[in-house]
Amino acid sequence: MKNCNFKTAKWCFATRRIDQNLAGGLCHDFSQTKPGDLILGRVKSIGNHRRIQLPEGRPSTLYPGDLVVLPCGARYAPDQFEGFAEIDEQCSDMLAGGGCIGRMVQRNERIKPPTRIQPLGRITSKDGTVLNTRDFALAKPTTTSQIPVICVVGTSMNSGKTTATAALAHGLTKAGWQAAVLKGTGTGAFGDYNAYTDTGASYVADFTDAGMVTTYKEPLHRIVEGIDTLLSEAETRDCNIAVMELADGIFQQETAAILATPSARSRFSKYLFACSDAVAAAGGVAELERNGIRPIALTGMLSCSPMAVNEAQIATGVQVLTKGQLLDPAYANTLAARTLMGRSALAA
Amino acid sequence: MLDTAMDVMPVSRPMSVTRVSVWSGRRQLHAEIRVPKTCSPDMPPLVALHGISRDAAGVAGAFSEPCASKGQVLITPLFTRENWSHFQRIGGYRPDRALLALLALVQQMGLARTDKVEMFGYSGGAQLAHRFAMLYPQRVAALHLAAAGWYCLPDLTQPFPMGLGPSETNLKTNIPALAHNQLRHFLALKLRVYVGAEDHHRDEALRKEPCIDDVQGRHRLARARYYCKAVRAAADARGVTADLSLCELPGCVHSFSDCAAAGLTGLVCSD
């Protein structure tokens, strides 16, 4: 593979910050593989992921024999796979469509086995250095950002967090805010990124811009450093408010750690909580209160049902906002006002 | 839904005039944007709202000269009767969203920065102007209200729309709660209230329900005075320093042209 033309490979979305021209060789020693190392692989068999998400924001159908470039990474996805950032040089698993390759340890029973990838090597630069997503991250901030942040958390995957995040970002933009829409944790994928971009927000980024293909199994300090990097970049780009989604549910280990650690959650001014029903709302609000957090509003799938809305508001005392209300600049503006008031109170 | 149409008129005057229109839902809002030949880039544009006679052209004509002299972009929306029969109210209708769409378009077209604007309204336009500012105070650099028929008071004891207390009817959008969240910011705005010193007639256009007469007064002059007192009291109660003045225009009845001739437009633009 000395003369491998890396550009013929399908590079995944999580590699989008990396200049493909830097790829100059392969390292065949997988024993030293670290999360974020770029792996060149050949598709051996098609499983759950039949397509790979490309950096330009479109999916590409995979065929056996295709060359792909995926960063090594872990995966936390209760509706798909759990996997670790480990490479089996005989055959590894494609853990996410936006990129990452690793070892699946368990899967949702409704999901097919993963697409299998034969690793060919770790991609190096011409001088032999293994290319790693960490080396292409935004610069680390030198000062603490002051931008007000509305943090969107939820009960689980598919509770409505991304819909709420995008709707609020659009509402804020309509109200005249220079909004940043950010994803603080999760696994690199273009679905959320594209949904954020479509809102017309002033700046969009996720943890891959901070050098992580996934935040699962990353140490808390590195995740928080990534969040700070994104917020600082948003401020540099003249954003005056940020909406940040934390992936998965509030019991997911990294999200739980962020919310339970005062020094980590101090970045967030206010919280929106997305959930599917009134019981989830009551449980989620109670769980958040254990960390001293009271969301400014509930949203998500719950908000589609007026009866569930009524039950949740009675059970929690927290207002439920629908997608339509988050899209409404007057509602978005009032959330911004309450976020700024919270910020002023903290500063005082 | 937002759609636009643009027609640039020949430039043969101190201000170049661009006509635009935006859609907000099913309703269309037209506007003219006048950009002075010498424009001060950091000066917020003036959005000047007509009254229920919908004489946007008259408003534009009255403000053209003072805005041109000042180097200030002038935006004059036209809420047509067919699309906006009650344009001064925010509730079932959402003229606020149409105005936001218009401001976004003006900025997208590069005609002016609209993250903040000075907002003027006469009569029904003043009603819309202060209601807009109550929802989006961060967009308003200065608020000029002239001869409003009545006001939404910053008073939680008055039911919406007379105040910010709960409405006695079901609202599609909870405007009083939304405005209440913005109240401190609104009360800190630069607010200039104008009214004709002779605007004390109970003409046909004036609302005369007891709920307004008994609290705000029986005519526009009394209501303007009451509004200023109410704003100052609300600001004081919240520890906010109000930046507020009331100007009673000598000899003026309820007429925009009379008020303009008495110096209203100059006062707005010189302040």
pLDDT in tens, B2-47: 445 555 544 445 789 999 999 998 999 999 999 998 888 889 999 9
Output the pLDDT for position A343: 62
Average pLDDT over residues A100-113: 96
- Amino acid found at B34: R
- Considering only the beta carbons, identify the residue of A176, A330, A338 that sits closest to B173: A330
Average pLDDT over residues A68-95: 95
| Confidence label for A347 from pLDDT (cuts 50, 70 and 90) | very low
- Please indicate whether, in this complex, the C-beta atoms of B96 and A329 are within 8 angstroms of each other: yes
- Cross-strand partners of B4: B22
* Mean pLDDT (whole number) for A113-135: 97
Question: Closest approach of chain A CAs to the CA of B114, in angstroms?
Answer: 9
Within 8 A of B135 by CB-CB distance, chain A residues are 330, 333-334
Of the pLDDT bands very low, low, confident and very high (cuts 50, 70, 90), residue A3 is: low
Q: A291: which 2 tokens?
A: 């960390």
Q: For residue B205, which of B260, B152, B255, B145 has the smallest C-alpha distance?
A: B255
pLDDT of residue A2: 56
Residues near A260 by beta carbon (within 8 Å), at least 6 away in sequence = A291
Q: Which residues of B touch A329 (CB under 8 A)?
A: 96-97, 100, 136
Set of chain B residues whose Cβ sits within 8 Å of the Cβ of A331: 173, 178
Q: How far apart are CA A30 and CA A33, in angstroms?
A: 5
pLDDT band at B208 (very low <50, low <70, confident <90, very high): very high
Question: Closest partner residue to B97 among A329, A336, A338, by Cβ?
Answer: A329
- CB-based contact B177 A334, cutoff 8 Å: yes
Contact B100 A175 (CB under 8 A): yes
The reply to whether CATH 3.40.50.300 applies to domain B4-270 is no
* B136 → closest Cβ in A176, A338, A341: A176
3-class SS string, chain A: CCCCCHHHCEECHHHCCCCHHHCCEEECCCCCCCCCEEEEEEEEECCCCCEEECCCCCEEECCCCCEEEEEECCEECCCCEEEECCCCCCCEEECCCCCCEEEEEEECCCCCCCCEEEEEEEEECCCCCECEHHHHCCCCCCCCCCCCEEEEEECCCCCCHHHHHHHHHHHHHHCCCCEEEEECCCECCHHHHHHHHCCCCCEEEEHHHHCCCECCCCCHHHHHHHHHHHHHHHHHCCCCEEEEEEEEECCCHHHHHHHHCHHHHCCCCEEEEECCCHHHHHHHHHHHHHCCCCCCEEECHHHHCHHHHHHHHHHHCCCECCHHHHHCHHHHHHHHHHHHHHHHHHHC
Q: Which two tokens stand for residue A75?
A: 């995966």
Give the nearest chain B residue to A326 (CA atoms).
B173
Can you give the pLDDT at residue A150?
A: 98
A331, closest residue in chain B (CA to CA): B178
Contact yes or no for A330 and B185 at CB 8 A: no
Domain extents in chain A:
6-132, 149-347
Give the mean pLDDT of chain B.
93
Size of interface A-B (CB pairs under 8 A): 46
Residue where the block lists tokens 């036209």: B78
| Residue A339 in tokens | 């976020």
Looking only at the bridges linking them, the beta strands covering A203-206 and A241-249 are: unpaired
Nearest to A256 by CA among A154, A162, A338: A154
**Is 90 exceeded by the pLDDT of residue A341?**
no
Residues 6+ apart with CB under 8 A from A98: A12, A13, A14, A53, A187, A188, A189, A190, A191
Bridge partner residues of B8 (DSSP): B18
Determine, for residues B178 and A338 on separate chains, whether the beta-carbon distance falls below 8 Å.
no
Convert the pLDDT of each residue in B161-188 to its tens digit: 999 999 888 888 999 999 999 999 999 9
State the smallest CA–CA distance between residue A328 and chain B in angstroms: 8
Per-residue pLDDT band for A342 (boundaries 50, 70, 90) equals low
* pLDDT tens readout for residues B259-270: 999 999 999 999
Chain B residues in contact with A337 (beta carbon < 8 A): 181-182, 185
Q: How confident is the model at residue A345 (pLDDT cuts 50, 70, 90)?
A: very low
Q: So what's the architecture of A149-347 in CATH?
A: 3-Layer(aba) Sandwich (3.40)
Cis geometry, peptide bond prior to residue B161 (ω within 30 degrees of 0): yes
Q: What is the pLDDT of residue B7?
A: 56
Q: What is the pLDDT of residue B171?
A: 86
The reply to whether residue B100 touches residue A337, judged by beta carbons under 8 angstroms, is no
Bridge partner list, B74:
B34, B46
Between A221-225, A286-290, A316-320, B90-94, the lowest mean confidence (pLDDT) is in B90-94
What token pair was written down for B201?
Answer: 């007639």
Q: Which residues of A touch B173 (CB under 8 A)?
A: 328, 330-331
**Contacting residues for B94 by C-beta, under 8 A, at least 6 apart:** B24, B25, B173
Chain B: residue nearest A324 by CA?
B173
Q: Is pLDDT at A84 greater than 90 in this prediction?
A: yes
Token representation of residue B163: 């105040």
Taking CB atoms and an 8 Å cutoff, what residues of chain B touch A330?
96-97, 135-136, 173, 175, 178
Asked if the ipTM is above 0.90, the reply is: no
